[in-house]
Structure 1
Amino acid sequence: MLLDEEGVPVVPVIKYFKYLDLTGKSNNTLKTYCYALKQYFTYLVELQKDYKEIGVKDLADFVGWLRNPFESGRVTPLRQVEAKRTEKSVNLIITVVTNLYDYLYRNQEIQNDMTDKLIRQVFRRGHVQYKGFLHHVDEGKPTNKNILKMKEPKRKPKALHKDEVEHIYQSTTNIRDRLLIQLLFESGLRIGEALSLFMEDFVFDHKNGHRIRLTDRGELENGAKLKTGARELHVSQGLMDLYDDYLYNVIDDLEIDTNFVFVKLRGKVSLALIP
């Protein structure tokens, strides 16, 4: 929930979040959107404008506000300094704000179609080195582009080498973390998928191969969710041995009433780990 400076819920945002929740958006998505809109409404307070009075120039200034290391339109650095947010983070926030205005316009909450002013159609020009599988279908057709979107620098995906993973594995202080690290490394699961696993999802099968059964249970109480569909993954004997040791040395001693594999070891130990 987003509150204003007086502690009162921001009504248009509450309505928008209710719509997102009804359309199946995850809690993590709602948190990300809430943080983005918090930045926007903080900017509006400084600007002393209502969200209904905003124009394209105001949103363009908002992009500069987001990049300003002092997060203020009243302060301009005398020397070049590193931007507070990356281009990718700024684009995400602008997308959230644009979607909010699109929702409000479609529900006749505002009269100004901000999306129509921000989105323009562009045609691809010149030689494109990479062509998608359906390039011949979309060739010559325009695509929509937000005029406020910043160009994001290309970055190579970062990956850990096997020896780096081994170093992290050896640096852990408990068997739960060792199991989680080996599981992520061996299976390629997302962290949210790993933390959504139940004990019955680990299948011991010496004849046909040990495996993990990923089951779509929707969004769970710890916020974890299976995003890439139900499936089975074959895993090594070493991982299953580590899982067996974890059950014996940790889960059995805690006497917890939960099916989650990964749980807190301190405090309220019955609670599942949160992604």
Structure 2
Amino acid sequence: MKVQRIRLLETNQISWLVLDDDFVPIEPVFSYIKFLHDIDRSPNTIRNAAYHLKLFWEYLRDSSFVWQEVDIAQLAGFISWLRRQDPKVASIELHAPTRTNATIDQMLSSVHGFYNFHIRLGSLPELSLYRSSGSYQKRYKPFLHGIAKTKPEQTRVVSIKREQRRPKTLTHQQIQQILDACSHTRDKFLLSLLYETGMRVGQALGLRHADISVENGEVLVVPRNDNPNGARTKSRAVYTLPALTPLMQLYTDYLIDELGALEYDTLPDFVFVNLWEGEIGRPLTYAAVMSLVKRLRKKTGVDFTPHMFCHSRATTWIRDDKLPLPVVSRLLTHTSIQTTNDTYLHLTAEDLKKVLMEGKEVRDSRGNNYV
């Protein structure tokens, strides 16, 4: 089985087909992937769903299961199948799992989404893959809870607890080292923008010059689905982010020193464009950014990804600047404060020790004795 990358003729969008062992598209998966396109899911979400369902279909094939008749036990068996080093070989020896719990749960989410689609479509009978709960299970109860009628909640019967992993970050010294290694103002401005504003690389690559206001020190994050470089904002709302003076000065330098050298009658619509390779003036792509990152890794010896700039800024805002969580969540354009909390507020043993020591110092200053 394989996942085949294709381009849809009607929309010119990139999509993926899951092919069986005879290289024939698997129709139930194809209809679900088309549904994800229709409801405007991101390209990464659709691509991941295709690869996850390809693995699930391999599991069904290896286990001689029929997809329309999958039960809870068979779906739970998919977890064990994913954890084997070689799913085709059964072994009684203990091996370290090849995939994390978070990765496996993401794959289960794709499978549940697939089944939920076909159940709602009516192409599949109701399967016992969900449980309904009449009581409100969330930590925070809604207004009028217990008075107003609430719909039963549906939760997955088969799931796996994800590991709590702290996001990887860079030190201030490492960030400065990377910025100093940039040969061009465009590249330095791009990485500075990611760090100073906490923007994702997809948000930055979709920026137009009209989205940046030097006078007001603001950057607009506008969701657009027609970017020729495939850039996505990952949110459907428009956000206004503050941009401090040094960052705006760097943007001005980029306009004058590098975009001005193009000698175009009008500036390219996109902020970040090809200036030295490829089709000059075309929007910069993810691949071009990753090529830049690889060169900077080799030059500096710092192992990093573009998203680590966002993680580093968010961590600084929370731990060093002590910004309130709702403010950080808004700056990161998260739709939920819970997302910010779950991602960045993991207390380490060092954090706990620091809090205890600070509390001890306060009590000591009051003249209390400790053993």
What range describes the TM-score normalised by the shorter chain of this pair? Answer: 0.7 to 0.9
Gaps of 5+ in 1: none
- The 1-side partners of 2:78 and 2:116 are apart by 18
Per-residue displacement from partner, 1:229-250 (whole Å, max 9, x unpaired)? 2233231222122222323343
How do 1:201-220 residues align onto structure 2 when only pairs under 5 Å count?
201-205=211-215, 209-220=216-227
Q: How far apart in 2 are the matches of 1:197 and 1:46?
A: 46
Distance 1:162 1:60, change over 3 A: same
TM-score, normalised with respect to structure 2: 0.62
Residue from 31, 40, 63 that aligns with 1:15: 31
Code of the aligned partner of 2:119? Y
Q: Cα offset for 1:258?
A: 4.3
**Which digits, 9 at most, give the CA deviation of each residue in 1:250-275, with x for residues without a partner?**
33445788422223453344243238
Instruction: State the TM-score, normalizing by the size of structure 1.
Output: 0.81
Alignment partner of 1:132: what SS? coil
SS at match of 1:251: helix
Q: Is the 8 A contact 1:195 1:261 kept in 2?
A: yes
SS at match of 2:76: helix
Of 194-203 and 259-268, the range deviating more from structure 2? 259-268
Q: Of 111, 115, 118, which residue of structure 1 is paired with 2:129?
A: 118
Measure how far apart 1:189 and its partner are: 1.4
Q: 1:2 to 1:174 in 2, by over 3 A?
A: farther
Residues 1:273 and 2:280 are matched in the alignment: no
CA gap of 1:29–1:186, structure 2 versus 1, over 3 A, is: same
Q: From 143, 155, 158, give the equivalent of 2:165.
A: 155
**Partner residue, 1:51:** 67
Q: Displacement, 1:157?
A: 4.1
Q: Does 1:109 find its partner at 2:119?
A: no
Q: Structure 1: how far apart are the matches of 2:70 and 2:80?
A: 15
Equivalent runs, 1:238-257 vs 2, <5 Å: 238-253=246-261
SS in 2 for 1:153: coil
Q: For residue 17 of structure 1, what is the amino acid of its counterpart?
A: I
Which of 135, 139, 155 is the aligned partner of 1:145? 155
Find the counterpart in structure 1 of residue 208 from structure 2.
198
Query: What is the CA-CA distance between 1:138 and the residue it aligns to?
Result: 7.2
Q: Which amino acid aligns with 1:58?
A: Q
Contact 1:203–1:210 (8 Å) recurs in 2: yes
Q: Note closer, same or farther for the CA distance 1:258–1:59 as it changes in structure 2 (3 Å cut).
A: farther
Distance 2:285 2:102 in 1: 28
Aligned-partner Cα distance in 2 for 1:9–1:233: 44
Q: Contact 2:206/2:231 (CA < 8 Å) preserved in 1?
A: yes
Match of 2:100 in 1: 86
- How far 1:30 sits from its partner (Å)? 1.0
Judge conservation of contact 1:219–1:225 (CA < 8 Å) in 2. Answer: no
2: CA distance, partners of 1:237 / 1:100 = 48
Q: Which residue of 2 aligns with 1:262?
A: 272
Cross-structure match for 2:191 = 181
- Alpha-carbon contact 1:28-1:223 (below 8 Å) kept: no
Q: Give aligned-pair identity as a percent.
A: 27
Query: What is the aligned length?
Result: 263
Which residue does the alignment assign to 1:2?
18
C-alpha distance in structure 1 between counterparts of 2:143 and 2:270, whole Å: 44
Letter in 2 for 1:52: Q
1:40 aligns with 56
Equivalent pair of 2:230/2:285 in contact (CA under 8 Å): no
- Give the secondary-structure state (helix, strand or coil) at the position aligned to 1:2: strand
Residue 214 of structure 1: how far off its partner (Å): 2.8
